[in-house]
Amino acid sequence: MGTIQEEIKRRRTFAIISHPDAGKTTLTEKFLLFGGAIQTAGAVKNNKITKTAASDFMEIERQRGISVATSVMAFHYKDRLINLLDTPGHRDFAEDTYRTLTAVDSVILVVDCVKGVEAQTERLMEVCRMRNTPVIVFINKMDLEGQDPFDLLDELEEKLQIQVRPLSWPISGGQSFKGVYSLYQKELRLFNPDKTKIAKEVLSIEDIADPLLDDLVTTEHAEQLRKDVELIEGVYEEWDASPYLEGELAPVFFGSAVNNFGIQEMLDTFIEIAPDPRPRSTDVREVVPTEPKFTGFIFKIHANIDPRHRDRIAFMRVCSGQFKRNTFFTHTRLQKKLKFANPATFLAQDKNLVDEAWPGDVVGLYDTGTFKIGDTMTEGEDMQFRGIPSFSPEIFKELVNKDPMKSKQLEKGIQQLTDEGVAQLFVRELGNRKIVGTVGELQFEVIQYRLEHEYGAKCEFQAKKYYKACWIVSEDEKKLEEFKRIKGTEMVKDKDGNDVFLAPSKFLLDMEISNYPDLTFHFTSEFKTAQAS
Ligand code: G4P
């Protein structure tokens, strides 16, 4: 164990994100292989939800049980301690991914070289941009006939609204893929399709004019590489890590995850340039990781859906100080002191760490319903971490109770499930009607199933045609009251009691925005931070 400064410096906490099928799972697995955390390929695969039926989801959850091993994967690589946070690949669980992104310090975004930037890639990038999260892009599947690399870079800049800077460059692609040239390390790696081994043929080529290059990759490809590198050096500015750390520039790597190719260069560069645990803002002040007193927040709650063991694990990101087992900390929302006898950490190789955790680490806390997403733990200071916004859901349905004898169970069940972040709950004060909002249809099936199996309550969902949920605030109380009165049934409260307008259509929303200039319509719940920054 080192000093707090040493422990922080060592840590890299990040997530791999991608549009489904771009290669996130494969890349994760290769990282774990490099880190020695797993011995064979295929170990991470079973975590994937490929089908869209709730029954498949439920089956996977049941198999995983409370084993949260793949939610956070911690491993050593060189002298670093890497915390890789898993994000669900399924689009319907996008909210879960957004929340996980609040707990990381940087991300690696995987893009398929054939498909380029896809819908989910854009949305994920938007979330990264909101928080200025540093992004490294990995262009995957270079063994397939993909788009021209320059076109891909242009597409990244245009669709993701971020400047890019290649740090490696492919030599041809598809059938004739020869390898990548590292512009950063000035090294050539020759491609050798092999799913099990790690590319070893690394050649240091200081000067690409060297005729050795022609021998290695043919004159045609060597000439092309020289031209490309000249163009890159002409177009892109010299590599500088500071705009990357500000979230303004994304370094780009090319490779093939399934072939274990181009990954080590990226990992080596990653541990060098990626940020160590960063400060985080709260409602009262910014918390710096080196502060001696412990703070942390809950960004994810994983429930065991087996009704015989209804326990949950709350995932807490440590933000400052040192977390210790069996030590009392304050749950600031409840103003309650709690201690944890069996906090779970996720480092398979190093059992000593179970008793303590440092900034950047994630601790799993066994929970029986005390935690909500966003809850803050401290050594007594009253504060609440910010930056865990809710986004407007895309699908809205009204929850209808099908068994009046079980309304208490239904009430408790839906509260707990929404505290876990399975979906968002909006309550219409008049008549206590409940509108559930999600990103995908799958969650409704999951909620219905879980309410029945875990809480013994039966429900049905009635589709509601809303376009968006908008969080509404105004300095002018009177105007706000007037709007609320006029909108009547379209006004609801979110989980924290904020006023939310469920806009029926884009047209009507635009109209209200121009009719009510004194009101501000926000599309995420965390408008206070958005305004302040
Ligand atoms: P995801 O987690 O982002 O959804 O993607 P995942 O890693 O599961 O990869 C999606 C598919 O792309 C997989 O094929 C995987 O083998 C393949 N893949 C990943 N990297 C590369 C690459 O560099 N080149 C090529 N050609 N394919 C790659 P699958 O058929 O869906 O699964 P599997 O049966 O191969 O496991």
CA of 15 to the centre of ligand 1 (A): 18
331 phi, psi to nearest 5 deg: -85, 105
Report pLDDT digits (tens) over 184-213.
Answer: 888 888 887 655 555 555 666 778 888 888
Atom in ligand 1 nearest the alpha carbon of residue 259: 23
Atom of ligand 1 nearest to the CA of 144: 26
47: confidence class by pLDDT, cuts 50, 70, 90 = very low
- Report the separation in Å between the CA atom of 19 and the middle of ligand 1, taken as the mean of its atom positions: 12
- Joined tokens for residue 515: 């009719």
**Per-residue confidence at 347, pLDDT binned at 50, 70, 90?**
low
As a three-state string, the secondary structure of 53-119 is: CHHHHHHHHHHHCCCCCCCEEEEEECCEEEEEECCCCCHHHHHHHHHHHCCCCEEEEEEECCCECCH
The closest-lying atom of ligand 1 relative to the alpha carbon of residue 89 is 4
Q: How far is the CA of 25 from the centre of ligand 1 (A)?
A: 8
What residue ranges of the chain are covered by domains with CATH 3.30.70.3280?
395-522
**pLDDT value at position 52?**
46
Q: Which atom of ligand 1 is nearest to the CA of 29?
A: 7
190 forms beta bridges with 179
Measured by CA distance, the residue closest to atom 24 of ligand 1 is 141
Q: Atom 10, ligand 1: which residue's CA is nearest?
A: 21
Range 280-378 classified under CATH 3.40.50.300: yes
Q: Of 3, 5, 16, which Cα lies nearest the Cα of 277?
A: 5
Mutate to test the pocket of ligand 1, among 16, 17, 19, 26 (most ligand atoms within 8 A of CB): 26
Residues of the chain with CATH 3.40.50.300: 4-273, 280-378
Task: Report the first-to-last Cα separation within the chain, whole angstroms.
Answer: 36
For 385-431, where are the E strands, in sequence order?
395-401, 424-428
| Reported confidence tier of residue 39, pLDDT bands at 50, 70, 90 | low
C-alpha closest to that of 383 among 394, 370, 374, 391? 374
Confidence of residue 532 (pLDDT cuts 50, 70, 90): very low
Per-residue pLDDT, 383:
96
Residue predicted with more confidence, 155 or 528: 155
CA distance 120 to 152: 16
CA of 20 to the centre of ligand 1 (A): 10
Sequence length of the chain is 533
Gap between the Cα atoms of 316 and 313, Å rounded: 9
**In 3D, which of 503, 480, 491, 496 has the Cα closest to residue 428?**
491
Mean pLDDT, the chain, whole residue set: 86
Ligand 1 atom closest to the Cα of residue 261 is 23
Q: Which atom of ligand 1 is nearest to the CA of 140?
A: 23
- Amino acid occupying residue 144: L
Ligand 1: residue whose CA is nearest its atom 4: 21
How far does the centroid of ligand 1 lie from the alpha carbon of residue 112, in Å? 10
Q: How far is the CA of 309 from the centre of ligand 1 (A)?
A: 34
Q: Model pTM?
A: 0.84
Task: 500-503: list long-range contacts, CB under 8 Å, 24+ apart.
Answer: 500/426, 500/469, 500/470, 500/471, 500/472, 501/469, 501/470, 501/472, 502/396, 502/426, 502/435, 502/464, 502/466, 502/468, 502/469, 503/466, 503/467, 503/468, 503/469, 503/470
Question: Which two structure tokens, joined as six digits, stand for 224?
Answer: 């092309």
Q: In what order do the strands lie in the sheet with 72-77?
A: 72-77, 80-85, 11-18, 106-112, 135-140, 249-254, 163-166
* Res 349 pLDDT > 70: no
Q: How far is the CA of 109 from the centre of ligand 1 (A)?
A: 15
CA of 148 to the centre of ligand 1 (A): 20
Ligand 1 centre to CA of 87 (Å) is 16
SS (H, E, C) 131-193: CCCCEEEEEECCCCCCCCHHHHHHHHHHHHCCEEEECEEEECCHHHCCEEEECCCCEEEECCC
- CATH superfamily label, 4-273: P-loop containing nucleotide triphosphate hydrolases (3.40.50.300)
Backbone angles phi, psi at 148, to 5 degrees: -60, 135
Ligand 1, atom 7: nearest CA belongs to which residue?
Answer: 23
Kindly give the distance from the C-alpha atom of residue 26 to the centroid of ligand 1, in angstroms, as a whole number.
6
Residue closest by Cα to atom 19 of ligand 1: 23
Amino acid at 243: P
* pLDDT at site 88: 74
pLDDT at 71 over 50: yes
- Counting ligand 1 atoms within 8 A of each CB, the residue from 18, 19, 21 with the most, and so the one to mutate, is 21
Residue with the nearest Cα to atom 34 of ligand 1? 45
Mutate to test the pocket of ligand 1, among 51, 258, 263 (most ligand atoms within 8 A of CB): 258
- Please state whether 326 falls in left (phi above 0), alpha (psi between -120 and 50) or beta: left
The 10s digit of each residue's pLDDT in 95-132 is 788 889 999 999 999 999 999 999 889 988 988 998 89
The partner residues of 501 in beta bridges, in order of sequence, read 470, 491
Encoded tokens for 115: 């498909």
Ligand 1 midpoint to CA 514 (Å): 47
CA of 530 to the centre of ligand 1 (A): 37
Q: What is the Cα Rg of the chain in Å?
A: 25
> Can you identify the CATH homologous superfamily of domain 395-522?
Peptide chain release factor 3, domain III (3.30.70.3280)
Residue nearest to atom 15 of ligand 1 (CA): 23
Residues with CB under 6 A from ligand 1: 18, 20-26, 89, 140-141, 143-144, 256-259
User: pLDDT-based confidence at 2, cuts 50/70/90?
Assistant: confident
Atom 35 of ligand 1, residue of closest alpha carbon: 258
Between the CA of 393 and the centroid of ligand 1 the distance, in Å, is: 29
Q: What is the dihedral of CA 198, 204, 207, 209, to 10 degrees?
A: -60
